[in-house]
Structure 1
Amino acid sequence: MDCIFCKIIAKEIPCKILGESASSISFLDAFPLAKGHVLVIPKNHHQKIQDMSDAENTDLFSFVHKMISKVDSISGATLVAVHNGKEAGQEVPHVHVHLVPRSSNDSASAIHSMFDGTLKLSDSELNELYEKLKI
């Protein structure tokens, strides 16, 4: 497999590993958006979160929970981001959670700034989405 994250897990590519759990690993991003930008990934290759087992998912987000306090200590606020699939902006097709320290004077903005504008939906469209998405 030609996955850069799988090569990091196999220790074929050097990186600054911050910690490991049973099914996850965390390391400094090689192309950081801010000082202290961290990635947390599952050790098994999965492209999307829903492809992971419940146990892997629990381990991954428990590890994110541990790491976020560390990252948050850098600037007091942390952006937690997951691009779940290529169409969502995922560049490496392996599940990864970005933990990016944020501050009021960085160049980033709120999630709504990523899109052209707020989507306007009719009541029937909202009801249709509601019925499709509710658990």
Structure 2
Amino acid sequence: MTVDGCVFCEIAAGERPAHVVLDDEVAAAFLDARPVFKGHVLVVPRGHAETLPDLPPASVGPFFGRVQAVARAVEAGTGAAGTFVAMNNRISQSVPHLHVHVVPRNRKDGLRGFFWPRVKYDGDAEMEDYAARIRAALEAPAGSD
């Protein structure tokens, strides 16, 4: 399924130009037009899904198999020592179509840690409270929030 007006659906369908590095029945991958570093690739599912939770469960494994292959290829193709693989869901998601960033990385490349500030828990009790809430959400049937 594609969504009219979705830039990434248009790229995956071949209706909008992009520097494509992978194109199959599961995913399309192409160079990011605004890369963190040269060789920065976006991997998108062929069918429209806005976020990871929207991706059908049967598609998750095949999709992340493509992400894994692209991560391997970005390292080999750019001579990078590693990659940074990341995804946003809604917040900071510039295009509302699931996409995974695969960014080539090298030591001392100027990218420092994560892009957000770090916080500390008030102690073990607060950590356990957060862990318990997340465990409960995992155990709840989908869509029961």
TM-score, reference length from structure 1: 0.88
Q: Give the conservation status (yes or no) of the 8 Å contact 2:12–2:27.
A: no
Counterpart CA distance in 1 for 2:65 and 2:81 is: 20
Counterpart CA distance in 2 for 1:119 and 1:81 is: 22
Give the C-alpha shift of residue 62 in structure 1: 0.5
Counterpart CA distance in 2 for 1:123 and 1:37 is: 38
Give the C-alpha shift of residue 76 in structure 1: 1.3
Unaligned segments of structure 2, at least 5 residues? 139-145
Letter in 1 for 2:32: D
Match of 1:102 in 2: 105
Counterpart CA distance in 1 for 2:72 and 2:116 is: 26
Q: Give the conservation status (yes or no) of the 8 Å contact 2:121–2:127.
A: no
Match of 2:81 in 1: 76
Letter in 2 for 1:114: W
Unaligned segments of structure 1, at least 5 residues? none
Between the aligned residues of both structures, percent identity stands at 32
Match of 1:47 in 2: 50
Q: Which runs of 4+ in 1 moved over 3 A?
A: none
Q: Give the conservation status (yes or no) of the 8 Å contact 1:21–1:63.
A: no
Give the C-alpha shift of residue 127 in structure 1: 1.6
Q: Give the conservation status (yes or no) of the 8 Å contact 1:24–1:42.
A: yes
Counterpart CA distance in 1 for 2:89 and 2:75 is: 23
Aligned length: 131
Give the C-alpha shift of residue 20 in structure 1: 2.3
The secondary structure found in structure 2 opposite 1:104 is: coil
Give the C-alpha shift of residue 43 in structure 1: 0.9
